[in-house]
Amino acid sequence: MHLDQIRATAPARRAFLSRMRWAGLGAAAAALLSAAAPGAQAKSGKTLATRGGGRTAKPLGVEGTAAAAFPGTPGSSNNEIVLNYALTLERLEADLYRQALNKATGRALSAPLAASAAAYKQTVPDGPFRCEAEAVAAFAYLRDFAYVEAAHRDFLIAAMQATGLAPVGPNPGGYKFPTALPASLYGILQQVIPLEETGVRAYLGAAGFLTDLGLVQVAGTIYTTEARHSAVINLVLNAPVGPVTLPGDKEVVAGPPSPQTFEKFLDPATVIAAVTSTYFA
């Protein structure tokens, strides 16, 4: 598939955000995540076979195991802890994408995300993209993904509130890139891609702690989006689209037939230590 075809299939994220007002978002979240409400968790040890027409699979997460696996993450159940872990990552990603977009468009890094993506026009040089069309697409991805990450964050907050759970707040000190953002679009995306790769691995590593299949499915909708972000950013940076192997990666499937057959994952404690030391101000 050509780059322009890939770009043409990108969802209209701005239209999504304009439609999903808080009231409607909260209602949708309540319907999707009702299983996460206190007292509604699935019994530990329930297998996919009991809910999936006779399939044989390992049990869903065992209740009580998340507290030690997600150090410092608040919650009174596996589901609440995992959702707060996901929200912590989405708050981080939304804020750093906002900063990256501001840098690419000549705004102060502290400027809030504009109500409309149309407000953003690239002001930094492109950098070493292979062609002008690729640079145009790269800016569109940066702009649109900033709104997607904000939507992920707001969805999780509304979902948890609508089901009686307590969403974790933002880091009091804010968020930062490990080094100053470069003054080129290519360089900015090079700073963003490690964050996306970590997010993909984080969701996959956390899924096994959820105690309800419905929550696994909801988390999967965000996980796959993060994987697409990672792939397309790697594409415009002329890097392997993945899955690639990075330090600390663990394998879901042992002995894959080729290096890029299955996605890798990271343990939650590894992710928490890495993102807090690297990105938390």
**pLDDT value at residue 6:** 27
Tokens matching residue 35: 């299983």
Cβ contact 147:112 at 8 Å: no
Cβ contact 268:85 at 8 Å: yes
Distance CA 210, CA 219 (A): 9
If you write DSSP's letter for every residue of 66-102 in order, what string do you get?
HHHHSTT---SSHHHHHHHHHHHHHHHHHHHHHHHHH
Tell me the one-letter amino acid at 194. Answer: P
Q: Which residues lie closer than 8 Å to 106 by C-beta, 6 or more apart?
A: 123, 124
- Residue reference for tokens 């950013």: 233
**pLDDT value at residue 20:** 37
E strand residue ranges, 188-249: none
**pLDDT value at residue 256:** 79
CATH of the domain at 13: 1.20.1260.10
Q: What's the structural domain count of the chain?
A: 1
Long-range interactions of 6-9: CB distance < 8 A, separation 24+: 6/137, 6/232, 6/235, 7/137, 7/140, 7/141
Tell me the one-letter amino acid at 164. Answer: G
Rounded to 10 deg, the angle between the 78-104 and 213-236 helix axes is 20
Q: Which domain holds residue 77?
A: 3-279
**pLDDT value at residue 255:** 82
Phi, psi of 41 (to 5 degrees): -65, 145
Distance CA 101, CA 194 (A): 16
First-to-last alpha carbon distance for the chain, in angstroms, is 40
Tokens matching residue 36: 């996460």
Compute how many other C-beta atoms are within 10 angstroms of the C-beta atom of residue 146.
27
Full pLDDT tens readout for the chain, 281 residues: 333 332 344 433 333 333 333 334 444 444 444 444 434 443 333 333 333 333 344 568 999 999 999 999 999 999 999 999 999 999 999 999 999 999 999 999 999 999 999 999 999 999 999 999 999 999 999 999 999 999 999 999 999 999 999 999 999 999 999 999 999 999 999 999 999 999 999 999 999 999 999 999 999 999 999 999 999 999 999 999 988 888 899 998 888 788 788 899 999 999 999 999 999 99
Cβ contact 14:116 at 8 Å: yes
Alpha helix segments (H runs only) across the chain? 3-8, 13-19, 22-32, 66-69, 78-104, 132-162, 185-206, 213-236, 268-279
